[in-house]
Amino acid sequence: MKVTVDQTRCQGHTLCAMKAPDMFELDDVDGHSSPVSPDVPADQVGKVIAAVRSCPEQAISVEDA
């Protein structure tokens, strides 16, 4: 699975980083989220799906890879 964060949608709500702290890092300046890696390890899939659902801006996308 691959994950991306749309920087034009992200408003820095931080829920993604709470749901999947090992997968998302927040920018120190604007608080926008970026994936630590685009490739989602198998043991992180559930947390990343939870992050997708948690984001109020629908900024996070996943696709099968």
What is the token pair recorded at 47?
Answer: 């947390």
Going by C-alpha positions, the residue among 62, 63, 22 that lies closest to residue 44 is 22
How far, CA to CA in Å, does 13 sit from each of 7, 17, 64, 65? 12, 9, 25, 27
With binding defined as CB under 6 A, does residue 23 bind ligand F3S? Answer: no
Selected binder of ligand F3S within 1, 2, 14, 50 (CB under 6 A): 14
Residue type, 12: G
- In whole angstroms, how close is the CB of 15 to ligand F3S at the nearest point? 4
Selected binder of ligand F3S within 3, 10, 20, 23 (CB under 6 A): 10
Contact positions toward ligand F3S, by CB under 6 A?
5, 10-16, 33, 54-55, 57, 59-60
